[in-house]
Structure 1
Amino acid sequence: MSHFIQTLNDAWQRTNSLLCVGLDPEPSKFPGALAGRPDAIFDFCRAIVDASAPYASSFKPQIAYFAAHRAEDQLEQLIAHIHANHPGLPVILDAKRGDIGSTAEQYAREAFERYKADAVTVNPYMGFDSIQPYLEHEGKGVIVLCRTSNPGGSDLQFLETGGRPLYQVVAQLAADKWNASGQLALVVGATFPKEIDVVRGIVGDMPLLIPGIGAQGGDVEATVNAGRTANGTGMLINSSRAIIYAGKGDDFAQAAAKAAMDTRDRINAFR
């Protein structure tokens, strides 16, 4: 049984990359050569994965982009392709699930048994019993929303409770009480580097999934300085649209590869 945190640490060291490539396929943005093909979403994502894998340490497919087009079977194919052809690069299913009891158990089965993801993103708003069913899947990662990259995240995440903003309380709970499996990580957006620094101080070396450096405009230098651990790792720095839509023509995969390489190198310049 491979464990998410160990697989992630191994990937960081082996690839010398902290880049997580997000896979948010939107068929209206695909090049003409893929138009009308029944497996266009899989074909597009497979090409992106194969081209960018040399520069990445993980991949993050967003389930909504597949489900909205009735392409869940293509998502299964894609994750199987990554495991078979790029072993050791963990796959994070970005689902942001958040429910309790038997419903959470079914969501956990969906992520880990159906899709065979190595980790899944979850929403902690309903408390620990909405997270616990995911922890019961041995070795699987559970990545908890903490300080998200969207502006509206402050509506709730900065509400004060017990003298601290709510996102800090979530970070503390994740570090102290919720990490029963030892496979927990947190989502903290690159658009808020000061908060990344605060969360890092609370959770120690716990991995941070950091969206927001590409199309959302997060600062790479500030992100790396705030979030890196003592050995220069500890972060899955995600870029989606800036990589997968770097090119609009039939050479889209080569353009994605260059964008991934450039992003990896920008991140490494500050490690």
Structure 2
Amino acid sequence: MNKAQLVAQIKKKESYLCVGLDTDINKIPTHLKKTGDPVFEFNRQIIDTTYKYCVAYKPNIAFYEALGTKGWESLQKTLDYIPNDIFTIADAKRGDIGNTSKLYAKAFFETMNFDSITVAPYMGADSVTPFLEFNDKWVILLAHTSNTGSHDFQIIEDKNEKALYEAVIEKSRQWATSEQLMFVVGATQAERIGHIRSLAPDNFFLVPGVGAQGGDLEAVSKEGMNSECGLLVNSSRGIIYAGSDENFAQSAGNAASQLQNEMKGYLNKYI
């Protein structure tokens, strides 16, 4: 999916919601465990009730690869089930020397056909650019994340008082345009998102941390939007685990609907 198509979906659905499919086999409703593929069945029902409210799905790859070959099968079935007009994100946080990154890119972009993948920038250009060699595929580079440990390294300043996350954004924008490059910017870093937007005015931001992690959707929207919206705001646990009984999928749909309705208001207010 290219940038124009993604923006069109945001306008059509009046939403910039990304639903994180962090499907934990230990947290899904008990009755699903009697099915042949509990993880896929859970995802299928979540997709059925949230699809009309979101523009992206983001499976966290760790929840699937931890289950071995069965988990990879569940992930592929989930991908195949997601409608074609939905943007897909492999939350894999890959990044290695060039030939290894090239194979990671082939795995997620060709074999599995994700639209995008999260990538760690620590090893520099030659670990990132192999992911940029695929048409209409995206790198979502970790910039300023939502976890508490983000302050261990990301805000360290060099002799010119430039923070590491600022250097990552500025340098990586030399590798690709906003047609291929997004940044992960945590919702819990809302006080910096306006500054980050000034560093990357045209790039999309993937913003985790709204919902269970306590991020402020209005602050993120106000400070982070550009003329195309420029945001994909992710909620995982707050949506997919909104309910735990046999009506779990409807509870998820209700949670997604509430977020979409709030987003509609911010789109009208800030663009």
Mapping of 1:50-69 within 5 angstroms?
A: 50-69=48-67
SS in structure 2 of the partner of residue 167 of structure 1 = helix
Aligned residue in 2 for 1:79: 79
Asked if the contact 1:22/1:62 (under 8 Å) is kept, the reply is yes
The answer to whether structure 1 residue 178 and structure 2 residue 175 are counterparts is yes
Mark the runs of 5 or more structure 1 residues left unpaired by the alignment. none
Q: What does the per-residue CA deviation read over 1:93-123, in whole Å, with 9 as the maximum and x for residues that have no partner?
A: 1000010111111110111112110000000
Find the aligned partners of 1:172 and 1:36 in 2 and give their Cα distance. Answer: 50
Aligned residue in 2 for 1:117: 114
Find the aligned partners of 2:50 and 2:262 in 1 and give their Cα distance. Answer: 15
Q: What does the per-residue CA deviation read over 1:3-60, in whole Å, with 9 as the maximum and x for residues that have no partner?
A: 2x23311211121101000000011111121124331101101110111001001110
1:267 to 240, 263, 269: 263
Asked if the contact 1:147/1:195 (under 8 Å) is kept, the reply is no
Mapping of 1:151-170 within 5 angstroms?
A: 151-161=148-158, 162-170=160-168
Find the aligned partners of 2:75 and 2:110 in 1 and give their Cα distance. Answer: 13
Letter in 1 for 2:253: A
Letter in 2 for 1:155: D
Mark the runs of 5 or more structure 2 residues left unpaired by the alignment. none
SS in structure 2 of the partner of residue 143 of structure 1 = strand
The answer to whether structure 1 residue 34 and structure 2 residue 32 are counterparts is yes
Q: What does the per-residue CA deviation read over 1:119-166, in whole Å, with 9 as the maximum and x for residues that have no partner?
A: 000000000110011001111011000000001011110011232111
Letter in 1 for 2:249: A
Asked if the contact 1:100/1:130 (under 8 Å) is kept, the reply is yes
Find the aligned partners of 1:174 and 1:196 in 2 and give their Cα distance. Answer: 17
Asked if the contact 1:23/1:244 (under 8 Å) is kept, the reply is yes
The answer to whether structure 1 residue 202 and structure 2 residue 199 are counterparts is yes
Asked if the contact 1:189/1:210 (under 8 Å) is kept, the reply is yes
Q: CA deviation at 1:264?
A: 1.3
Find the aligned partners of 1:174 and 1:53 in 2 and give their Cα distance. Answer: 32
Report the count of equivalent residues.
264
Asked if the contact 1:76/1:114 (under 8 Å) is kept, the reply is no
Percent of matched pairs sharing the same residue: 40
Asked if the contact 2:140/2:182 (under 8 Å) is kept, the reply is yes
Give the stretch that moved more between structures: 103-112 or 31-40: 31-40
Find the aligned partners of 1:143 and 1:259 in 2 and give their Cα distance. Answer: 26
Find the aligned partners of 1:263 and 1:248 in 2 and give their Cα distance. Answer: 19
Q: CA deviation at 1:268?
A: 2.6
Aligned residue in 2 for 1:48: 46
Find the aligned partners of 2:176 and 2:161 in 1 and give their Cα distance. Answer: 23
Asked if the contact 2:101/2:131 (under 8 Å) is kept, the reply is yes
Q: CA deviation at 1:180?
A: 5.5
Aligned residue in 2 for 1:102: 99
The answer to whether structure 1 residue 255 and structure 2 residue 251 are counterparts is yes
Aligned residue in 1 for 2:89: 92
Q: Which of structure 1's runs of 4+ aligned residues deviate more than 4 A?
A: none
Question: Structure 1 262/180 Cα, relative in aligned 2: closer, same or farther at 3 Å?
Answer: closer
2:22 to 21, 24, 28: 24
The answer to whether structure 1 residue 192 and structure 2 residue 202 are counterparts is no
Q: What does the per-residue CA deviation read over 1:82-101, in whole Å, with 9 as the maximum and x for residues that have no partner?
A: 1xxx2211101100001011
Find the aligned partners of 1:195 and 1:100 in 2 and give their Cα distance. Answer: 31
Letter in 1 for 2:216: D
